Structure 1
């Protein structure tokens, strides 16, 4: 019996098996360690930029002086960070980005003039974001800055 014709076939099968094993190891290494860490690092950078840009927009919406105002400004937010929707909360001059991945969540201080009495509200990345600035409910309460979801309101 002559089995010399089988040797090249077995050799090629072994070569293909080694290539598949190599690709599988590389894929497992990348998706098991490197890629998720990279996505989290990039998500952290993006959330930092989104939060600083949102704080900047809030600061731009508030007039430097004046207490009898009413104005609105639309803010554009990315739909997702690291593939997931998020929210931005404002309370007591602090802006917080809340994300399902805690490493991507951030917080920053909003620098607004002293005549701003209250900053409150929540934005969702899945809905349009609007800043509404208006006079306070009571005399001397200062301006109220609200983060609202949805379309801009019509002027009264």
Structure 2
């Protein structure tokens, strides 16, 4: 017998056996590949949800907030007649229920309209372009309730119009 064969026979006969480790290296290679893929996906997910996605949601929320403010100002301006002194009118205004997943308010004070949101980057203010014969603009809307613009005369011919943002009641399903 050759020297190598004798050594193998002696190892087998002594109960130690000869280990063939060549079958383990492909398994370890696949485990390392899978670990790298999981690590890569984890890093990408963390990067997206840690910075890119929230920034995008805020930017979109800011755009939607600007649009809501613009459209509500337009609806208020449409409700006010250009030259009427004795007026009484009520118009419904449709508001999105949430902006960036959160409820908000719209407040009117002295010819300004303000969107109040918990995220300061989504909040904003705009001036109303309404005629001089409007004395007062007041009130507020919540995105959770129906919104109405009420325009009315203040009682005498000499006083101007009052524009009020009024909240309605949600209709209940039967």
TM-score above 0.5: yes
Aligned to 2:105: 87
Q: 1:130 aligns with which of 148, 151, 155?
A: 148
Is the aligned partner of 1:76 residue 2:88?
A: no
Report the secondary structure of 2:163's partner residue: strand
- The alignment status of 1:5 with 2:3, answered yes or no, reads no
Count of aligned pairs between the two proteins: 152
Query: Which of structure 1's runs of 4+ aligned residues deviate more than 3 A?
Result: none
Establish whether residue 16 from structure 1 lines up as the match of residue 34 from structure 2: yes
- Per the TM alignment, residue 4 of structure 1 is displaced from its structure 2 partner at its CA by 1.8
SS in 1 for 2:21: coil
CA distance in 2, matches of 1:124, 1:63: 25
Map of 1:54 onto structure 2: 72
Q: What residue number does 2:55 align with? A: 37
Gaps of 5+ in 2: 1-18
Between Structure 1 and Structure 2, the one with more helix by share is 2
Aligned in 2, Cα 1:115/1:76: closer, same or farther, shift over 3 Å? same
Q: Deviations over 1:87-131 (max 9, x none)?
A: 000010000000001111100000101111111000011111111
Contact kept, 8 Å, 2:61 with 2:100, in 1: the verdict is: yes
| TM-score, normalising length: structure 1 | 0.93
Cα RMSD of the aligned pairs, angstroms, is 1.4
Contact 1:135–1:142, Cα closer than 8 Å, also in 2? yes
| Deviation by residue 1:46-104 (Cα, 9 ceiling, x = unmatched) | 11110010000000000111111111111111111111110000010000000001111
Q: Which has the higher contact order (CA 8 A, sep 6+)?
A: 1
Is contact 1:130-1:151 (8 Å) kept?
no
Pair 1:143-2:161 in alignment: yes
Between Structure 1 and Structure 2, whose CA radius of gyration is higher? 2
Larger CA deviation: 143-152 vs 85-94 = 143-152
